[in-house]
Amino acid sequence: MKKELRVESLKLRVNTWCYFLILLLFTFHFSLSTSYADDINSRAAVVMDASTGAILYAKNPDLRCPPASTTKLMTAIVAIERADIHDIVTISRNASRTPPHKAGFKEGDKVTVEELLNAALISSANDAAVALAEEVAGSEYRFVQLMNAKAAEIGAHDTRFINANGLPGAGQYTTATDLSKIMGYALRYSKLREIIGTRVSEISTGRGKAIFLRNTNKLLWSEDDLVGGKTGYTRKARHCFVCVAERGQDTVIVTVLGSPSREGLWKESASLITRGFYAIENNEEPVIYLAKADSMQWEAKKLLHKKKTKTKAKKYLAKKSVKKKYLAKKSVKKKYLAKKSVKKKYLAKKSVKKKSSFIAKKKGKKTLYAKRTAGKKKCRVAKKDALDRNKG
């Protein structure tokens, strides 16, 4: 009986230790994943196995973010599917005036579709993207409809475009998962694969003007495994990047959206590429990290910014109102002083007039008195002369 109790006690201890070790390993793995996710400062990120489409690592994979110039990847897909790369395109006035980053095409320049694809994907030229849209669909508006239809076909159901170049605007968004799918689809075209991996290139217009292109993707000069990628930046979107890397038989797609800095974008992208290959080689389970605090913090910042803006606007309007009242009072005071000045002038004139009238009357009285005195004097003299003559 005692032996049985000892055996049961030993089993219980072994089971307890096993559970403890499993819990410890799980805790360690979870804390490792969480700490790694905390190192990613971007709003959203995805590492995808290109061959299977499986997500190896993700942070906020379905968070809607502005795509910035990564939009041009979809522009290139629609253009290469609907136009011959050797077709000649005449640059329109609208395309040549597209702000702000441009290759420098002038109205009337003649270039091929291939050269426009190079300008759009290598140096992220907005004028090239608009020229492609106009060539394929006649207008950028109709081209955007084709872009959205293609996104749905690819399976990027949480993506919507409003233009061909990624310039900011209401209602334009994508997710890290969708952008990874779009990049995976773009790899079907060897020409697009070649262009996104080109470091520098030169194109020329029909007028003989040479345009030098340098890739905005800095990792092409430092990552040996990198096939290519597409960058993007606007103030609202922050720094964005989607790229492809190959090592042996393995291919990973890395998407980073909303990185606070360009330097941080390159560091995080390189780190995620390494993590992707490590996950495939070691057959690791996918790690998906939903940073609610991050997205909530972003929303909170937006709300705080709006609140501050409203407060500033209220204070400004209040100051303006006070200033308006002050100016109104000043205006009233000015008018009052003006009236007072007019009254003063009027009284001064009245005083002068009264004085003049008084002086004139006084002079008149003096003259009259003088005339009367002279008349009396003459009268006395005449009487005296008359008496003297009578006496004689």
Active site residues: 69, 72, 124
Residue 192: name the closest of 75, 52, 283 by CA: 75
What's the CA gap between 152 and 174, in Å, rounded? 12
177 Cβ neighbours under 8 A, 6+ residues apart:
46, 48, 55, 58, 61, 62, 158, 255
What's the CA gap between 167 and 156, in Å, rounded? 20
Helices 126-137 and 140-154: crossing angle in degrees, nearest 10, is 90
Query: DSSP of 234-254, one letter per residue?
Result: ETTTEEEEEEEEEETTEEEEE
Contact 232, 243 (CB under 8 A): no
Q: In terms of C-beta distances under 8 Å and separation of at least 24 residues, what long-range contacts does 376-382 make, across chains too? A: none
Number of helical H runs and strand E runs in the chain: 10, 10
Alpha-carbon radius of gyration of the chain: 45
Residue 255: name the closest of 101, 43, 74, 78 by CA: 43
* DSSP state letter for 68: G
119 Cβ neighbours under 8 A, 6+ residues apart:
103, 105, 125, 127, 128, 203, 211, 213
Rounded to 5°, the CA angle 370-371-374 comes to: 85
Amino acid at 341: S
3-state secondary structure of 290: coil
Contact 265, 250 (CB under 8 A): no
Contact 69, 124 (CB under 8 A): yes
